[in-house]
Every structure is written in C-alpha cells, then in structure tokens.
Structure 1
Amino acid sequence: MTGRAVLAAGSGDEPPVTVPRDPARDAARRELSKRMYHENDPSLLQRALNAFWDWVDRLFGTAASATPGGTVGLVVVILFVVAALAALWWRLGTPDRRAVSAAALFAERPRSAAHHRAAGEAHAAQGHWNQAVQERMRAIVRSLEERALLDTRPGRTADEAAAEAGRVLPAHADRLRAAAREFDDVTYGGRRAGEQSYRRLTELDHDLERTRPTLADSTTGTARSTRQGAAE
C-alpha cells in the first residue's frame, strides 16, 4: 500500500497493522537533529577549508592532465614562473623604489669626507656591505663639495650629485651614475650589496681625488681635457 508501512500480525488470524510512513521519518529526522549527534561534526570554517582544498586538488589535477609531462611538467612550469618573477624582482627592486629614491643623500648633520670614509671602512671590516656602500658614496659627494666641484646642498640626492659631478668630471660620468644607482638600490630598493660593490666605489673615490676638473677656456669657449693620474 502506497505511503504506509505494513507490520505483520502476531498470528495469522489478526489483520495486518499499518503505520503511516511520513510521521516515522519525521520522528527519525528530529531525533538525528539533536546536538548530541553532531558534536564531532566539522565546523563551518573547516568545511569551507575542505571545500577549498578539494577545489585546488581538482584544479591541479585538471592542469596536470593538460600539461605535457603530467604532474612533473606542471611542477617544472610553476618553478620556471617563480624563478622568472624572482629575477624580475631582483632586477627592478621593490615597486616603490623610484618613489622613495628621491630622499636626501645626507640624512644627518654634515660630516667630512674623511669621516664618511672611516665609517665606510669600519662597516666593511665587519662585512656590513650595505652600510659601507652608503658611507662611501657620501664620502665621494662630500669630497667633491670640499673641493668646490659641487656646491654644498644638504637636500641633494645621490642621482642629482652624480649628474652634477658628471658635468664637471665627464670622464667619470658613467661610474658616478652607476655609484648612485648602487646607493639607491641598497638604501631604498631592498637589495644587498657585496664586497665588490664597495670596492668599486672605493676605487672611484680614489680616482676622483686624482682627477682635475674640465675647465672652460674663456677665450675659445672650448673645454680642456680632464687630466687623470696622481696629483703632483
């Protein structure tokens, strides 16, 4: 009989007893909805996480099946993409590098070039190459100011100092620009300097000390060539 459950009688003479099926199902549902039966059920957060990881697993499986080489091929592709992104970050630095690199070269009260050189050597002796590079670049700019090749300007940036010094000492313009980039990279770009970076700035500092500026000839308007080598 549709919609009803039939119970066999205790004896063959008694008619069968029928129990409505829907009330029984409702009673079972109410019983199973009690909290005691759900104490060990996963939380809403756990269910969401399980659903997310199931989705990731399906996505990974689909990508692996579509990639030559299967799972191994997909892993190789992922590693290649990660390596490319890391190389791009290393080449360009952090996204806000250009915005903050306009800060002044000298953040403290003016100190002599000799003081900056000594500070750079002290950092280099301890292997603190970032600080050593910073102090050597400051020594270069301060030395040019002390020689009156640059005007003393506390708010000057490393890039501005390199551009101005390059006009006075054109033979070293490229190295000056490279030194300014090195300073910006370690100071604002989140890069790490090494011993070679510091040695390059030290050599530039020494070469600049032995270099005379290019002076304009007042009668012909031409420039006399820069003389390099040890000062007399």
Structure 2
Amino acid sequence: MPTWGEVALPAGGAPVTIPRDPARDAARDELLNPAYHRHDPSLLERATSWFWDQFSKALEGVGSATTGGTGLVLFAAVALVVGAAVWWRLGAPGRAARTSTALFAGEHARTADQHRAEARRLAAAGAWNDAVREQMRALVRALEERTLLDPRPGRTTDEAAAEAARALPAHAAALAEAARTFDAVAYGDRAADQAAYRLLGDLDQALERTRPVLAPTPEGAV
C-alpha cells in the first residue's frame, strides 16, 4: 500500500516516486469518504454547542474584573430574551385566573341599592378601586333585579356585559367598556380614579331609564 508523500513502497520493494499534487489530492479524496464522518456532530448539535460555549463565556465574564461590564450585560441580555420567550409563551402569571374571577365571588347577596350605597361611601373616602368594584356590582345586580339577567353567582363582568347587551343593544358598547374598566381595575392592577367610578355610575343610571328590547316570539308560538 502506498504511503502519503512523495515515495511509495510497493509490495515488490522497489520505491516508486509519486508526485506531490496527486498525493495531496488522493489524501483529500480519502478523507472525504463518508465512512469517516458517520459519527460527526450534526449542524444543529454544532450550533447548540457553540451557543452554550458562548453562554458559558458570558457567565465567566460576569465575575471577571478584566471584562468590565461586558459579561454582565451579555448575561442580562440572554436572561431578558429567555424571560420574554417564557412570558410570550405562557402569558402574564396568573392573568388567566384573575380575569375569570366571578363578579360576586364570595359575596353575600345584596341588593343593587345596597351596592350603590357602599360605592358612594367608598367614593367619598377616595377609595376609587373599591368604589368601582361596588358600582359594577350594583349595575349587574340591578339588571338581575329587572330580570334582564338571570341571577348567577359565577358570572364574570364580560359575560354580564355580553348578556345584557342583547336586551339593551343601544348600550352594548358602553357595557363592554364598563366591563373592560372593571377588569383593568379589579384584575389588571390599574389604579381607578373618579372618572372610572363616574363612568360606571352614569351607565347604571342610563340603564335604569332604558326599556329593554324584547326577544322576538318564535313563529307559531301561542
């Protein structure tokens, strides 16, 4: 068998000179044989390895005085990217649970007027968040008392607004806005103010003055 170089020793023993270029080409062709690369890492594996190498260097740089703030900045950037990806995938923590909370969860049954009185008391004290909650409860309870909504303890504000809009279509947009305002204050950590309280109070009064639209009677019904 030949050796890779300029001289080969065949089985007969007499040396045979092989030119340099053909020898180099033959060696390259031999190394390109797929049999030698069956266990090489894939492109994805190489990319993953490169990423973790860079990440490890960034972590080492955090505690190194010679790198200044570069390592810390890179580490913070990677952490932000990972956090953003988790946030995008899962959403705000607890958001789904909060927005599905029932309007009257844990509440003792009170009349609409009782909720209104409590809302006014809270508003006078400047407790706008609680005043908004009570005013929304007064609005929905009043619709239940008028039989425009069936009493249902587990109902959410969004459900109440959608159901009430069928009987009071002229106020559908205002009901939806009221539900969004309530959700933002009660579950979205938004600070309420007098304007939010007045929005719900004015809608409550407007609904009281509005006659509902009766559902059409099915044909043939007696």
What TM-score do the two structures reach when normalised by structure 2?
A: 0.58
1:142 to 2:141 alignment = yes
Shift of 1:185: 1.4
Q: Offset of 1:99 from its aligned partner?
A: 2.8
Q: Which residue of 1 aligns with 2:165?
A: 166
Instruction: For 2:100 and 2:205, locate their aligned partners in 1 and report how far apart those are by CA, in whole Å.
Output: 26
- The number of equivalent residue pairs is 148
Equivalent residue, structure 2, for 1:21: none
Partners of 2:64 and 2:193 lie apart in 1 by 43
CA–CA distance in structure 2, aligned partners of residues 56 and 123 of structure 1: 56
**1:54 equivalent in alignment to 2:65:** yes
- Structure 1 residue 177: deviation in Å? 1.2
8 Å CA contact retained: 1:121, 1:132: yes
Moved over 4 A (4+): none
Deviation at 1:95, TM superposition (A): 4.2
Please tell me the root mean square deviation across aligned C-alpha atoms, in Å. Answer: 3.3
Greater mean alpha carbon deviation, residues 97-106 or residues 140-149: 97-106
Q: For 2:127 and 2:164, how far apart are their aligned partners in 1?
A: 27
In structure 2, C-alpha distance between the alignment counterparts of 1:133 and 1:97, rounded to whole Å:
20
Indicate which of 79, 99, 106 corresponds to 2:97.
99
- Structure 1 residues 53 and 120: alpha-carbon distance in aligned structure 2, compared to 1, 3 A threshold: farther
Change (3 A) 1:201 1:51: closer
- Displacement of 1:172 in angstroms is 0.7
C-alpha distance 195-53 of structure 1, shift in aligned 2 (>3 A)? farther
Partner of 2:78: none
Q: Which runs of 5+ in 1 are unaligned?
A: 1-49, 64-84, 86-92, 222-232
Q: Where do 5+ consecutive residues of structure 2 fail to align?
A: 1-60, 75-83, 85-90
TM-score with structure 1 length normalisation? Answer: 0.56
Residue 103 of structure 1 and its aligned partner are, at CA, apart by 1.3
